[in-house]
Amino acid sequence: MKKEDLRIVYMGTPDFAVEALRCLVEGGYNVVGVITMPDKPAGRGHKLQYSPVKQYALDHNLPLLQPEKLKNEEFLDALRAWQADLQIVVAFRMLPEVVWNMPRLGTFNLHASLLPQYRGAAPINWAVINGETETGITTFFLKHEIDTGEVIQQVRVPIADTDDVGIVHDKLMMLGGKLVTETVDTILDGTIHSIPQEEMGVTGELKPAPKIFKETCRIDWKQPVKRIYDFVRGLSPYPSAWTELIHPDGTTVVLKVFETEKIIKPHNLGTGSLLTDGKTYIHVAAQDGFVSIRSLQLPGKKRLKTDELLRGFHLDNSFKMK
């Protein structure tokens, strides 16, 4: 079968999912339909906002479905009408069996980790938070348990010590588009060879990648400097790590922290204590040294470098972080 004859249905929502869809469309593959999340209210006016995948589909005149519920009979009938040979899922949602089992060639997913490591909703964040020096992308066939299906292909990607999650996200996104088309090609030419994840010989414990909530993002200054440094870059630029700045009078303000540097040195200060000249630097005491905050944000303000923020915000060593 030629790629022009293979009927593909594509499912995805965020920016990460647009690149693979673009590679399929521009590569001449036959995308007969796109499925994305319903529009969501956003911003102060709560205007309905299209997902990035919806916007791409509209721009390229691709048939589109936005089901609230994936077991809805009206949706399932519309999906069957597309007569897909293959379904591809990138950053969408958990599919019921009636959906992933529909095409004759099955449904495969692109996941942003080296499965079976980092199964879950936030694999890129957790790999950086945990200080990994390598991650990657995986295509695998869907089955009942989330992120557990047979692996088709993987690409390994190094994580530099200075990479934040935004940088790693963009690397994996670009490689993911290419891997999706390569995976389709192996299905088309019959060279596909998938491997059960339990046969992949992973050493050490499996690390999860659960969904990240606001409280997940709070900095614990009692941790070692390296752990805090990795935590901040694993959440930067989004959803961002945060901490409470405590004024000497006891009032607090929430600070988002985007960029830090490590200063490993002994000290006798309590964790969360501040060292600052009020002009150019903010150092926060941690377990085994100091975390130098390089970029941060006050509520309702834009992200600033530390020296920029200190020009308009009074700070001295009587403040603390909590």
- The two beta strands, 107-111 and 134-141, are antiparallel
Contact 166, 16 (CB under 8 A): no
Asked whether 140 and 115 are in contact (CB, 8 A), the reply is: yes
**What's the CA gap between 75 and 96, in Å, rounded?**
13
Say if residue 245 carries a ligand binding annotation: no
Q: Which two tokens stand for residue 66?
A: 């936005």
The answer to the question of whether 113 is labelled as a binding residue is: yes
Please tell me whether 318 is known to bind a ligand: no
**Residue with tokens 């869907």, as numbered in its chain:** 142
**Residue 210, preceding peptide bond in cis (omega within 30° of 0):** no
What is the DSSP annotation of 270-312? PTTBEEE-SSS-EEEEETTEEEEEEEEE-TTS--EEHHHHHTT
CA angle 241, 247, 252 (to 5 degrees): 50
Q: Is 114 annotated as a binding residue?
A: yes
- How many Å is the Cα radius of gyration of the chain? 23
Q: In 89-215, which residue ranges form alpha helices assigned H by DSSP?
A: 97-100, 123-129, 165-189
HEC letters along 23-39: HHHHCCCEEEEEECCCC
Comparing CA positions, the residue from 217, 222, 215 lying closest to residue 232 is 217
Distance, CA of 107 to CA of 82 (rounded, Å): 14
Annotated binding site for (6S)-5,6,7,8-tetrahydrofolate: 113-116
Annotated binding site: 113-116
